Amino acid sequence: LKCPTRPEPRVPHAVLSAGGRDCLHAGDTCSSDDTCSPRLRTLRQCVAGDGSMKLGPGARSQCENAMTALLSTPLHGCQCKRGMKREKNCLSIYWSLHQSVLHVNRCLDAAKACNIDETCQKLRTEYVSACIQPSARSGPCNRPKCNKALRKFFDRVPPDYTHELLFCPCTDTACAERRRQTIVPSCSYEEKDKPNCLAQLRDCKQDYVCRSRWAQFQYDCEASEHSASGCKRENHGSCLLAYTGLIGSTITPNYLDNSTSNVGPWCSCAASGNHREQCNDFLAFFHDNICLILHVPTPFQVPPLWCPAAIQFSFILICLLLLH
Amino acid sequence: MNLSFPGQKQKPVSPSDEDRRSEFLTSEEIQREASGDEAVPVRTRRSAPDSQCGLRSVLLQVRDLGLGYDSDETVLFKYCGGSCPRARSNYDLTLSNLLLSGRLPQPAPGEPWHSVPCCRPTHYEDMAFLDNSHRWHKVEKLSAAACSCAD
């Protein structure tokens, strides 16, 4: 039973639809360019050896500048295909770009990359603008307007950028706080009181869009202890995508603090009556889920598989008919 | 929206990058980094000759904008630069002639009377960023979005 590949998200991104940028190809393009080539050479010198080379202050800033400059080239966000020709060469380029010694604050790097891209910068400014604008009528901000702009951002900007912004790995508080602030939580997330989670979920299901997003999230982030990725659908990227689909909805999730990567919606299980366990299960789906590991994926791009239940059932029916 | 005048042979200039994916800058547009020089001009127009009025951009740290914000984010500041053709209307011709011949009093220094159109933005863009105290800011009309030779 082979599932058809997922239709391309309706994001006008020529590069994504071409199957993603290949680091080898991007590296060749860069090496044959007068301005890009020295940057790449600088970077490779910076990460020479096993990456444990200590960088003096002058060298470090040169390395960081080379890294920032390369953000606006095809090398940014490039990937490698498992088993491809010259896989090792491709990966050496990939890891040069992702050497942790140069990434002091991955979330800041993500913001810089976003600011260079026209669409990302424009839509990020739009949602921030909507979310920080005080509202005469509805208190500190216009929450529906903020949510709408957030949904637009996560729907239209390629995951290359949005996932880096939201799922950047952090080793210190400054980075983690920046990450927590990504969705302007003071407007889109926090409220005076925390509603009961099940009541919040019920409200979500009243709205067709929220209901679908929740269903998609449950599907794509279903955990499985028997799979290597921890995900039943074996597609971590799809789970992250489904998570971002919840942002700007009634059950918007966010990082709960700036020291861990625990996430969850703004709700509590107090006053759950006899449904306490059901309520706890809902919250656990966010913070006890081995599939929902919030960091950006590895060099290998797994093409998303999309098997809507209808197609699975029709295959089963055909099989049954043939057996008869 | 570009300004144009009847009988005007000059084609209004507009940036060709409105539909471009700016994450892929061409080779001439990739930031050129001189040693110790942080802010380097990056051309965003591919086809125009260097000196004509057009949209240009420079990659800068927010704190280098000189607006008093303390943020480590870098932004692409877009501005209008370049020359506009000399006389565009009879007004321009006459004004420059009269200034040259002395029939009009010379303007005070620092208060020039323009007898040529100048390269100015026709549209602006806002810019949002997070500062180092983790507060969000939005700066209105920070960057130029399109340029034209304005009268």
Q: How confident is the model at residue A100 (pLDDT cuts 50, 70, 90)?
A: low
Phi then psi dihedrals of residue A166, to 5 deg: -95, -30
Task: Chain A: give the shortest CA distance to residue B148, in Å.
Answer: 20
Which two three-digit tokens encode residue A92? Answer: 């050496």
Torsion angle of C-alpha atoms A10, A12, A17, A22, degrees rounded to 10: -140
The pLDDT value recorded for residue A321 is 65
pLDDT tier at A145, thresholds 50, 70, 90: very high
Q: What is the mean pLDDT of residues A148-157?
A: 98
Do the Cβ atoms of B23 and A116 come within 8 Å?
Answer: yes
Per 3-state DSSP, chain A is made up of helix, strand and coil in percentages (nearest 5) of 55, 5, 40
Compare A173 and A318 and report the one with higher pLDDT: A173
Beta bridge partners of A60: none
Span A16-33, pLDDT tens digits: 223 357 889 999 999 998
Q: What is the pLDDT of residues A261-309, one digit of tens each?
A: 899 999 999 999 999 999 999 999 998 999 998 766 555 544 333 334 4
B125 to A73: CB separation less than 8 angstroms, yes or no: no
pLDDT higher than threshold 50 for residue A312: no
Backbone phi, then psi, for A252, in 5-degree steps? Answer: -50, 125
Whether B55 contacts B78, CB under 8 Å: yes
Q: What is the nearest CA distance from B137 to chain A, expressed in angstroms? A: 8
From B20, B32, B74, residue closest to A112, measured CB to CB: B74
pLDDT digits (tens, 9 = 90+) for A154-166: 999 999 999 999 9
Strand partners, B137: B129
User: Is the model's pTM score more than 0.90?
Assistant: no
From chain B, the residues in CB contact with A184 under 8 A are 136
As annotated, the residues of chain B forming the CATH 2.10.90.10 domain(s) are 47-84+115-151
Tell me if B33 and A128 make a contact (CB, 8 A cut-off). Answer: no
Asked if pLDDT for residue B111 goes beyond 90, the answer is: no
Q: What is the pLDDT of residue A204?
A: 97
Residue pair A113/A67 in contact by the 8 Å Cβ criterion: no
Q: Which residues of A116-136 are buried (b: 16+ CB within 10 A; e: fewer)?
A: bbbbbbbbbbbbbbbbbeeee
Q: Do A128 and B128 touch (CB under 8 A)?
A: yes
Distance of CA A54 to the CA centre of its chain: 31
Q: A15 to chain B: which residues are within 8 Å by CB?
A: 21, 24
Instruction: Chain A: give the shortest CA distance to residue B68, in Å.
Output: 19
State residue B46's pLDDT score.
46
Cβ(A80)–Cβ(A97) under 8 Å?
no
**Residues written for chain A:** 324
Percentage of residues in chain A having pLDDT higher than 90: 50
CA distance A145 to A137: 13
- Among the ranges given (A193-197, A215-219, A286-290), the one the predictor scored with the smallest mean pLDDT: A286-290
| Integer Rg of chain B from CA | 19
Provide CB contacts within 8 A for B103, sequence distance 6+: none
**What is the C-alpha separation between B102 and B96, in angstroms, rounded?**
10
Per-residue b or e along B6-20, where b marks 16 or more CB atoms closer than 10 Å to that residue's CB: eeeeeebbbbebeeb
Q: Which of A13-27, A58-72, B134-148 has the highest mean pLDDT?
A: B134-148
Q: CB under 8 Å to A213, separation ≥6 — which residues?
A: A242, A245, A246, A249
Smallest Cβ–Cβ distance between A72 and the set B30, B75, B136 belongs to: B30
8 Å CB contact of A111 and B73: yes
Residues of A in contact with B30 (CB under 8 A): 33, 35-36, 39, 69, 72-73
Architecture of the B47-84+115-151 domain: Ribbon (2.10)
pLDDT at B26: 34
Shortest CA distance to A27 belongs to which of A100, A82, A89, A83? A89
pLDDT for position A97? 81
Residue B103 has pLDDT above 60, yes or no: yes
Quote the tokens at residue A50.
Answer: 């096993």
Chain B hits for A26, CB-CB cut-off 8 Å, are none
Query: Concatenated DSSP letters for B12-45?
Result: PP--TTSSS-TTS--GGGSPP--TT----EEE--
pLDDT band at A185 (very low <50, low <70, confident <90, very high): very high
Give the CB-side neighbour count of residue A38, counting CA atoms within 13 A.
11
Partner residue facing B24 (CB), from A35, A39, A74: A74
Task: Output the pLDDT for position A285.
Answer: 95
The full set of domains in chain A, from first to last, is 14-102 (1.10.220), 118-156+173-293 (1.10.220.110)
Which residue from A65, A117, A121 is facing B33, i.e. has the nearest CB?
A65
Query: In this model, does residue A46 exceed pLDDT 50?
Result: yes
Q: Which residue of A has its CA nearest to B131?
A: A178
A contacts of B27 (beta carbons < 8 Å): 33-36
Average pLDDT, chain A: 83
The pLDDT tens digits for B23-42 are: 333 333 333 433 334 444 45
Q: What percent of chain A has pLDDT over 70?
A: 80
**Contact list, A116 vs chain B (CB under 8 Å):** 22-23, 59, 74, 76
Confidence band (pLDDT; 50, 70, 90) for A112? very high
For residue B30, the distance in angstroms to the closest alpha carbon of chain A comes to 6
Query: Distances in Å between the alpha carbon of A147 and those of A207, A231, A284, B140?
Result: 14, 28, 24, 21
